Amino acid sequence: MKNKQLEQYLLQSLNMALGSLIQGETSYSNSFSISVQEEGFLFIPRMPASFIIDDSLYQKIYLIANATLFPRYTLLKQNSAYFIALESDDIHTKRGLFFPWVVGISERLIIPNLEDFVQKQDNSIITIMKNLKINYENVTSIAIAGNSGSGKSYTLTYFLTLLKNFSDLIIVDPKFDIPSRWAFQYNVPFIYPSFSRSKSDFVSQVNEELSTCLNIIYERQEILFTNPNEEFKHITIVIDEVLALSEGVNKQIRDSFFSLMTQIALLGRATNVHLLLVSQRFDHNTLPVAIREQLNVLIQVGNINKKTTQFLFPDLDPEGIVIPIGKGTGLIQIIDNETPYQVLPLLCPTYFTKKGIL
């Protein structure tokens, strides 16, 4: 479909669906027009207009156009109206609402043999979907959230299997479950609770490991001071079920845990020390705000609505985002300089791994 055909198709959809929202104004009465660009389309109102151009109108147009364009394009959801100035001598058409898109829709990876797949991946690259990859060099920290049974552990296992090829891993598993079995299979260090120890004792051990990592950060910072181009191997601290780890622990130990985590989150990026955190939710009881603000790969799997997205995506209204049904589906946001910063529909890979892990 050529641009002109696509413009006419969008105009027809908007003329029919906007209806009373803009008092019956249509493109036939020259009230607005559409311009298709390479990275999205423009809704260009002719000013002055008899309808209010605000966030509400923008989101209504998004809902209409996203369904209209599916599956050829995926519109990228904005938190508010996206105005841009246009190069026009006519003051009536010098501004427009921009709706960015990506070509196609999210497609799930099907991986018959995960070990073979990992060996073929470029160093520091994590493939999420057929059309989405993460460069780990640009990652500060990762958060995976979701309700029980949503596919968090399955997603985490996939990340671990790719990360072990180019990152040292330190795994903290408060439930002594899937991450521990994975770590045992691959001879990766892991920390787990014992029946003979109190929870506070267990978290104290975790704090000792975090303190060691913080010292590594300080050592690497000293090296960078004299040699800014020095490259370090990635270190990833993986904590499963952060909420379960921090609840019911002595306040002093809990505060130390959060303090160490915060320092690692703030200082780790330049020295290639990362956090990979998994929890059912990431509210203020689970993580301090300072840590949440450093997370630049955000994944929410399972049930998606305003309530479940309020912690990882506080400004997002997920209405209108087309998310397939099934395990391991949800939303992902990657905040770097290579991928669109907007939230995208997510389909986690389907794969087969060593027997006895999952």
What is the fold, at CATH topology level, of the domain defined by 110-351? Rossmann fold (3.40.50)
In 10 A of CB 355, how many CB atoms? Answer: 7
User: Coil, strand, or helix at residue 270?
Assistant: helix
Residue 246 and residue 255 in contact, taking contact as beta carbons nearer than 8 Å: no
Percent of the chain at pLDDT > 70 equals: 98
Residue 328 pLDDT class (50, 70, 90 cuts): confident
DSSP code at position 138: G
∠ CA 233-237-242, nearest 5°, is: 165
Residue 280 and residue 146 in contact, taking contact as beta carbons nearer than 8 Å: yes
Average pLDDT over residues 281-306: 91
Locate the domains of the chain by residue range.
3-103, 110-351
Q: Measured between alpha carbons, how far is 70 from 323 in angstroms, rounded to an integer?
A: 12
Query: Tell me, what amino acid is at 257?
Result: F
Average pLDDT over residues 320-345: 87
Residue for token pair 């320092």: 263
Tens digit of pLDDT for each residue in 81-138?
999 999 988 999 999 999 999 999 999 999 988 889 999 988 899 999 998 999 999 9
What phi-psi label fits residue 232: left (phi over 0), alpha (psi between -120 and 50 degrees) or beta?
beta
Q: Measured between alpha carbons, how far is 253 from 115 in angstroms, rounded to an integer?
A: 39
Buried b (16+ CB within 10 A) or exposed e, 291-301: bbebbbbbbbb
Residue 356 pLDDT class (50, 70, 90 cuts): low
Tens digit of pLDDT for each residue in 167-211?
999 999 999 999 999 999 999 999 999 887 888 899 999 999 999
Strand partners, 150: none
Backbone φ, ψ for residue 311 (5° rounding): -95, -45
In 10 A of CB 307, how many CB atoms? Answer: 9
Task: Tell me the H-state helices in the chain.
Answer: 3-18, 55-69, 114-119, 152-163, 178-185, 199-226, 242-246, 251-267, 289-292, 306-309
User: How would DSSP label each residue in 24-52?
Assistant: T--GGGTSEEEEE-SSEEEEEEPSS-SS-
Average pLDDT over residues 20-49: 89
Q: Measured between alpha carbons, how far is 262 from 159 in angstroms, rounded to an integer?
A: 22
Give the pLDDT confidence score for residue 179 in this predicted structure: 94
* Closest to 239 measured CA to CA, from 201, 282, 293, 191: 191
Q: Measured between alpha carbons, how far is 355 from 358 in angstroms, rounded to an integer?
A: 7
Give the pLDDT confidence score for residue 1 in this predicted structure: 63
Give the pLDDT confidence score for residue 88 in this predicted structure: 87
* Closest to 201 measured CA to CA, from 212, 191, 211: 191
Asked, as a colleague might, if the bond just before 71 is cis with ω within 30 of 0, I would say: yes
Give the pLDDT confidence score for residue 195 in this predicted structure: 80
Four-residue CA torsion sign, 194, 199, 201, 204 = positive
Tens digit of pLDDT for each residue in 105-117?
999 999 988 889 9
In 10 A of CB 40, how many CB atoms? Answer: 17
DSSP code at position 148: T
DSSP code at position 165: T
E strand intervals along 225-355: 234-239, 273-279, 297-301, 329-334, 344-347, 350-351
**Mean pLDDT computed over every residue of the chain:** 91
